[in-house]
Structure 1
Amino acid sequence: MSLCDHFHRHLQALYPAGPLFVAFSGGLDSTVLLALAARLAAEQQRDIMALHVHHGLQAAAEAWPAHCRQVAKRLGVEYRMLKVKVNTGPRVSVEAAARDARYAALAAELPPGAALLTGHHLDDQAETLLLALKRGAGIKGLAAMPACKPLGRGIQLRPLLEVERAELERFATEQGLRWVEDPSNADNRFDRNFLRNDILPRLLTQWPAFARTASRSAALCAEQLELARELAEQDLRPLLNASNGLGIAGLSRLSPARRNNALRHWLSERGMHLSRSQLEVAWTELALAREDADPVVKIGGQELRRYQEHLYVPALQGAPVAVSALQPGQWLELGVGRLRCRRVESGAQIRADVQPSELHIAFGISGLRATPLGRSGSRSLKKLWQEYGVPPWQRPRVPLLMHKDKLVAAVGLFVCADYAPEPSQPGWQLEWEPYAL
């Protein structure tokens, strides 16, 4: 199968229609990718854009934007340069910082549902797997690079992931393509360059199929990663409370391996990525601490906390935003989530005679009392927080739906009995989509 046929087949499977954005550095891999994508876009009448990220980190790179513009023009592809600022300094990996800045800029260019194509190939996959082994990574790292992953409002596709670099170079030579060579690629102080320049050639000399078999191992790890994710979601579902806290008792009933899998998945969804030793510390020093303790584990600027035998990762961002009046049918951004009040004929939460314009959203009001629907007798809001298991650090972030000075609802938790309609009566329904608490 020719490289063009391979590319067309894989792209058809990954992204059969829609605009194409190509990450175009000007090097061999992205030049071949752009040429293939340009041919496919012309045949299928699809929009295509070449995106070149200019990091400004080395003198040689100053000439690359002009070169990339010329190549794109020759291929009949629209071109755009994105200039980024890379944060450097002591203890900062320039390679990682440049990658983060590059992908942030590329992601920002993608309209909803669009695809960014990158030129990663089979040799890159082998290097990624070797780097993961060097770090002592688990199956997530050993799964290496997926062919498709979310990026910004769209997706990132790697349609050349099964193609060897040597095949890309043969195609480029046959087609008369011109590309630039990055001088920094010869600097073996960078781990990936060391593998690419010294180690992988030796492995391929000894075992010519090494890159392909390594890629097969990565694919098997990716399957195991998907199984682990499905198992974690299954195990976590009954362990989460209304405040997104994770029950320690339920975790304790799982085997150690299954518990670690569930806990690791739950933490990663909240932006915490723990090593094996950090996970053990979190379990022994936090989950298994004495009942009257208030332990905190801090990792990477985030906190893992415990309250009422549940684990929490308090949010770092999103200040609450009060709203003076509700507008029927309109989503309101509250900083900690978004809320919509909608008229319904049945299944209402709030009486029809209460007008949304008379309601407002507040946060952190002290001294309130309420009688939640289905409960008898009023209680202080402080007492209700405890009964509903809302941790102290989350309470100022819970939207309070107010009618003048009276509490109508603690959004996402309860509606006050005085404002609830009779069953099957029309009224107002609250739709609440919280951000991470």
Structure 2
Amino acid sequence: MLPEAVSRALTAAGVGPGARLCCALSGGVDSLLLLEVLHELAPQHGYALQAAHVHHGLSPHADAWAQACASRCAQLRVSFSLIRVEVPRDDRAGLEAAARRERLAALDAIPCDWLAFGHHQDDQAETLLFRLLRGSGVRGAAAMASFEPPLGGRPGRLRPLLDCRRAGIEAWARARGLEWVEDESNADVRFSRNYLRHRVLPLVGERFPAAVPTLARAARHFREASELLDELAALDQAACGGESLQRRAVLALSDARIANLLRWQARRHGWRAPAQARLDEALRQLRVVALAHPLRVVLGDMALCAYRDLLWLESVGGDYYEPRDWCGGATLPWGAGQVGFTSVRGQGIARSLLDEAHSLRLAGRRPGMRLRLEAGRPRREFKNLCQEAGIPAWLRDRLPVLWVDEAPAWVGGIGVAAEFACAPGHDGLMPEWRPARIVV
């Protein structure tokens, strides 16, 4: 029975007393039935239930759907939210994908612990087939999970009907006398998913009657394989030095394991997976470029960077490096990273000079900036210092500089100016640049 299946799914996800659960309500039979069952099970599981409908404005019937959802929630005395979104008609991803993206973004902003969706087994088979035809890898072929725990402030996702067939859901809804709306666009076979749903899967089902549950079972197998690959990536990251990877250790891995590690790191950072051709080119360059040379290869939203024996991924598009006054705190933001300040003895910048200064400011380099790193030696151009330190050109504009009364006292990655160096036995301040790379 459907209520028992939903109850098992809730228990498996750990949804219990005090949880805030929001049903994503489209007005169709799947989400409407899910709302009914969740309403029945709320006393048993102890969660607080609400519902939300996203109004895309793409159909002339959109207002009527929203009203139908609001009316049913009022009858059940379930708190209801109506969210209006604008879907770009000329989105490069297509109207179907753009609408899905805007809908999920709106739902993710709802203050709740879990979002419940009415996806069922037929949807799962359709999703798997759609992704395979697009050339998805193992993770894409895993299709939809029955639940995804809350992560990074985003609500968790529940799909309690994922093991239920569409026909059974409709039969149960009719037996309960439920009334639902039909989205006319669901019959439009110009959309790829609709084509698979109405043309391909029925034809396959004529020859293979168990096609839908079999495809859903295959998706579970792919998910198990995907989870194993994630575990392997975590092990490889730990073996290669942790958050900042050791370049030599990474090169000891096979290309397949490096690619798996980079995809895993990108996903955890929220970046899109790189195109296979770009990733292949990045791996080729990583193999052929000498360890002494820096490397940066753009992979869409991110870039693969290698500097000396470190390897990392970083965002493309640039962090904002805002100049900031230093007022004695332990850290200051710098881009997506930070600069730390630690009190030391006989090292770093002389504390006495900082105490006497009128202005202490963390900012970037300035045109014509020169620095003397050793007493009695001439000041040297910033470019030459970077070349000597092996800092690649694409990193130089990001280097933090501590300006003391308009004079550069310290440059991240280069060091302390001789005029500001702390004498042995005296109080000093040691700045440390901590650039943001992979956040795990």
Interval containing the TM-score (normalised by the shorter chain): 0.7 to 0.9
Q: Distance in 2 between matches of 1:204 and 1:404?
A: 77
- Report the equivalent of 1:86: 87
Whether contact under 8 Å (1:245, 1:312) holds in the other structure is: no
- Report the equivalent of 1:153: 153
**CA 1:304–1:176 in 2, change beyond 3 Å: closer, same or farther?**
same
Q: Calculate the aligned-residue CA RMSD, in Å.
A: 4.3
- Higher mean alpha-carbon deviation, 388-397 vs 50-59, is at 388-397
Deviation at 1:123, TM superposition (A): 1.0
The within-5 A match list for 1:246-285 is 247=247, 249-268=248-267, 271-284=271-284
Q: Distance in 1 between matches of 2:408 and 2:183?
A: 63
Amino acid of the structure 2 residue aligned with 1:95: E
Deviation at 1:282, TM superposition (A): 3.1
Q: Distance in 1 between matches of 2:292 and 2:360?
A: 39
Amino acid of the structure 2 residue aligned with 1:204: G
Q: Distance in 1 between matches of 2:312 and 2:337?
A: 21
Percent pairwise identity: 33
Q: Distance in 2 between matches of 1:160 and 1:420?
A: 67
**CA 1:388–1:165 in 2, change beyond 3 Å: closer, same or farther?**
farther
Amino acid of the structure 2 residue aligned with 1:288: V
**CA 1:409–1:198 in 2, change beyond 3 Å: closer, same or farther?**
same
| 2:430 is equivalent to residue 434 of structure 1 | no
**CA 1:9–1:64 in 2, change beyond 3 Å: closer, same or farther?**
same
**CA 1:195–1:430 in 2, change beyond 3 Å: closer, same or farther?**
same
Whether contact under 8 Å (2:87, 2:102) holds in the other structure is: yes
- Report the equivalent of 1:337: 337
Q: Secondary structure at the match of 1:316?
A: coil
**CA 1:47–1:263 in 2, change beyond 3 Å: closer, same or farther?**
closer
Q: Distance in 2 between matches of 1:263 and 1:126?
A: 28
Whether contact under 8 Å (2:386, 2:414) holds in the other structure is: no
Deviations 1:299-345 (A, max 9, x none): 5466556655857555314211222134647x75544235676x999
Deviations 1:87-112 (A, max 9, x none): 1227541000111111111112235x
The within-5 A match list for 1:205-224 is 205-224=206-225
Deviations 1:403-430 (A, max 9, x none): 555667666998899788999x999998
Which consecutive unaligned segments of at least 5 residues does structure 2 have?
A: none
- Report the equivalent of 2:68: 67
How many residues of Structure 1 are paired with residues of Structure 2 in the alignment? 425
- Report the equivalent of 2:115: 116
Deviation at 1:28, TM superposition (A): 1.1
Deviation at 1:161, TM superposition (A): 1.5
- Report the equivalent of 1:3: 2
- Report the equivalent of 2:227: 226
Whether contact under 8 Å (2:240, 2:249) holds in the other structure is: yes
Q: Secondary structure at the match of 2:397?
A: helix
**CA 1:262–1:92 in 2, change beyond 3 Å: closer, same or farther?**
closer
- What TM-score results when the alignment is normalised by the length of structure 2? 0.78
- Report the equivalent of 2:362: 361
Deviation at 1:43, TM superposition (A): 4.0
Q: Distance in 2 between matches of 1:10 and 1:415?
A: 59
Deviation at 1:364, TM superposition (A): 2.9
Q: Secondary structure at the match of 2:324?
A: coil
Q: Distance in 2 between matches of 1:44 and 1:314?
A: 42
The within-5 A match list for 1:97-136 is 97-110=98-111, 114-136=113-135
Which consecutive unaligned segments of at least 5 residues does structure 1 have?
A: 373-377
**CA 1:351–1:281 in 2, change beyond 3 Å: closer, same or farther?**
same
**CA 1:265–1:124 in 2, change beyond 3 Å: closer, same or farther?**
same
Deviation at 1:201, TM superposition (A): 2.5
Q: Greater CA radius of gyration, 1 or 2? A: 2
**CA 1:318–1:279 in 2, change beyond 3 Å: closer, same or farther?**
closer
**CA 1:258–1:91 in 2, change beyond 3 Å: closer, same or farther?**
closer
- Report the equivalent of 2:29: 28
Deviation at 1:391, TM superposition (A): 3.5
Whether contact under 8 Å (2:186, 2:194) holds in the other structure is: yes
Whether contact under 8 Å (1:38, 1:76) holds in the other structure is: no
| 2:83 is equivalent to residue 46 of structure 1 | no
Deviation at 1:39, TM superposition (A): 2.2
Deviations 1:18-52 (A, max 9, x none): 10111111111111111122223344443222111
Q: Secondary structure at the match of 1:201?
A: helix
Deviation at 1:379, TM superposition (A): 8.7
- Report the equivalent of 1:12: 11
- Report the equivalent of 1:190: 191
**CA 1:46–1:433 in 2, change beyond 3 Å: closer, same or farther?**
farther
Q: Distance in 2 between matches of 1:223 and 1:360?
A: 51
Deviation at 1:436, TM superposition (A): 6.1
- Report the equivalent of 1:375: none
Q: Distance in 2 between matches of 1:210 and 1:69?
A: 37
- Report the equivalent of 2:236: 235
- Report the equivalent of 1:324: 325
- Report the equivalent of 2:288: 288
Q: Distance in 1 between matches of 2:236 and 2:423?
A: 36
Q: Distance in 2 between matches of 1:140 and 1:421?
A: 57
Q: Secondary structure at the match of 2:393?
A: coil
Q: Distance in 1 between matches of 2:2 and 2:424?
A: 67
